[in-house]
Structure 1
């Protein structure tokens, strides 16, 4: 999120909205917004406590360019969490819904 316009909040919020519409409970790091005087480490400390509540981590495109996302993925993998691309998860849900409708 650091170094991206609007901290990439629009992409985080769009992905969260799509997943919530499909019934997922979402921990969106953009939900807590910008906290005055907070540093990167403050955001990461909070986000990592929330990550521990999740069973799946859904990644946005270009996540590899984010130091925070790379740390979250490392921790998720060490905790044997499922790591997926958010787009693939939404796409899979769409395909399953289409197959059920047939």
Structure 2
């Protein structure tokens, strides 16, 4: 995969105490490999406390629209938001890949799964 592509991190946030560290670590590892990475977990501190779940998801999908690749973090399957992000990514012909595959193992999938 080209290092100039923009990656968007997708994974569980709700109910995960250390989600910020999980997202930050993934972003750091991918950035160290030369990728440009969007970390939606960083946006939570930007929105005011009265923001709804849908407000956050609207921003997440707008950020994902700017990306080329959806990167699925471990345990994404149980996340309602990550599943909606996957649907959006597939519906807009984005590449979908697991974090594990980018870091050296696992399978890629999606419209351009021949990474």
TM-score (norm 1): 0.83
Could you list the runs of 5+ residues in structure 1 that have no partner in the other structure? 93-102
Q: Does 1:23 align with 2:34?
A: yes
Greater fraction strand: 2
Rg comparison, structure with higher value: 1
- The alignment covers a number of residue pairs equal to 91
In 2, Cα distance between equivalents of 1:78 and 1:58: 15
Greater fraction helix: 1
In 2, Cα distance between equivalents of 1:38 and 1:19: 29
Per-residue CA deviation, residues 51-85 of structure 1 (Å, 9 max, x unaligned), is 00111000111101100000000110111111011
Kindly state the Cα deviation for residue 33 of structure 1 after the two structures are TM-superposed: 3.1
Per-residue CA deviation, residues 10-53 of structure 1 (Å, 9 max, x unaligned), is 11110000011111111101122333212211110111000001
Residue among 7, 16, 20 paired with 1:4: 16
Could you list the runs of 5+ residues in structure 2 that have no partner in the other structure? 1-12, 106-115
